[in-house]
Amino acid sequence: MLPVRFVMAVQDARYVEPLLNYVNGSSYGSSMQVTAFTRPDAFLQYMQSGELPALVVGDAEMLMAWFRLGEPPVPWLLLNEGAELPAACPAGGSHTAKYQPLPRLLEAISACCHESRILTVSGNGNSIGTGLQTGMAAVIGVVSPLSGCGKSTLAMNMAKQFAVLGLRVFYLNLESVNSSVQFPSGCDGMEGSFSRLLYDIKAAQEGGSENVLQVMPYRLRHQGLKCDTFEPSLHVKEIMEMTRSDTELLLRSLGSTGQYDVIVVDTDGASGVREERLQAVLEHAGALIWVLLDDPISMFKSGIRIDQLLQQDESFSGGLMKRSRFVVNRYTGQLVNRPPRKDILIDCMLPYIPSWKQLQQQELLLMSPIYQREVLKLCRQLLGGGDSGLSDVNRGELYA
């Protein structure tokens, strides 16, 4: 499992260095990754261009400089020399005594880092893991009735941001034509492995041993997404032949490994001749992220598609809307078109990134700080309290 990452921003190096030494030499060394700064300019540059951490811990001067850049995209913890939180601090954070025994300080930091570990659907209290009984893994389906709406870009960025938060993530692409093939994993020797997995899925069901399947030999680590996935396959026919039961077995097998907290499922468009993979995700995902565009056709198609789903399958009627979240992609600052149904509320606006129109390096789609910030907010909307007991090798870094 990945360590939880937090940033320490304190101008006094004599304060920071003992803390880093303590983390590396204590039990926290297996569960925390610390990136520390003592210069405001280096800290601010990192927060604007680097990957967002789970938490920012800092003194008043460093945090106030960061607050002036805009609304903090991640939680923060002020190392306070007073008894109360300064009135100038924005929402989304807390404070603790700057000078206290290191074990107690690390307890406070750990509590803030881990307070968002059990996934829930914010607003209605439904666990996103209740749809499919997959142990600790929560299944999140990213869906849309539209082509070219940025669905896969969102799904991959969500997987990455959940991983950055310290969760154990699997990115599962179920598209007929796998978009993630344009994002090399950096892992060799897995060519054709997804085809072999599909064969095993069919064979397991024909042999009557369809409860769970050993899928871990087929997984690989994707360096860009920072999570596990399968090697993309371009054999469109065999993917389109996946049935609903095939998809359910795959999801159940991934969840039952106990290796993942979140399974992010990237689906085909929500319309088409072969919908069995999509139907399995719609039924079993604990949360469904619908990607919309702010134009009349997008809103119309989305409304019609949801109406159709609610009418054709009574099993959806009680839970589909409760499990659904709605995201407007390529938002330019003002929502012009109304959502197609009265019970649709927009949960997140993902910004339009003009530079992506003429993009030649696909990996840059996973590296936009502005876009990542909004995706992280969406991920945090799906987070509640709890602790998943992260552990791995600590890497403490100090930037003067």
Which CATH number characterizes residue 47's domain? 3.40.50.2300
CA proximity to 118, closest of 56, 162, 164, 55: 162
pLDDT digits over 197-249, tens only?
A: 999 999 888 876 667 788 999 999 998 899 999 998 888 888 888 999 999 99
CA proximity to 305, closest of 348, 269, 276, 265: 269
In total, how many domains does the chain have? 2
In a domain, 131, yes or no: no
Strand 169-173 relative to strand 227-230: parallel, antiparallel, unpaired?
Answer: parallel
Are 211 and 351 in a shared domain?
A: yes
Q: What is the pLDDT of residue 367?
A: 84
Are 265 and 185 in a shared domain?
A: yes
Give the total residue count for the chain. Answer: 400
> What are residue 142's DSSP bridge partners?
266, 289
In a domain, 289, yes or no: yes
DSSP annotation string for 5-20: EEEEE-S-HHHHHHHH
In a domain, 226, yes or no: yes
pTM of the model: 0.66
pLDDT digits over 20-35, tens only?
A: 988 888 877 767 888 8
Are 80 and 188 in a shared domain?
A: no
Element (H, E) at 96: strand 93-97
Are 189 and 81 in a shared domain?
A: no
Are 198 and 171 in a shared domain?
A: yes
Are 113 and 193 in a shared domain?
A: no
pLDDT digits over 314-345, tens only?
A: 555 447 888 889 999 999 988 899 888 888 88
In a domain, 334, yes or no: yes
Q: Would you say 327 and 350 are in contact if contact means Cβ atoms under 8 Å apart?
A: yes
pLDDT digits over 108-143, tens only?
A: 898 887 654 433 333 344 444 333 333 458 899 999
Least confident range of 77-81, 246-250, 296-300, 354-358: 354-358
Are 152 and 19 in a shared domain?
A: no
Q: Residue 292 — very low, low, confident or very high, per pLDDT cuts 50/70/90?
A: very high
Q: What is the pLDDT of residue 317?
A: 46
What CATH number has the domain bearing residue 149?
A: 3.40.50.300
Q: Which domain holds residue 302?
A: 138-381
Q: What is the pLDDT of residue 188?
A: 63
Mean pLDDT for the chain overall = 81
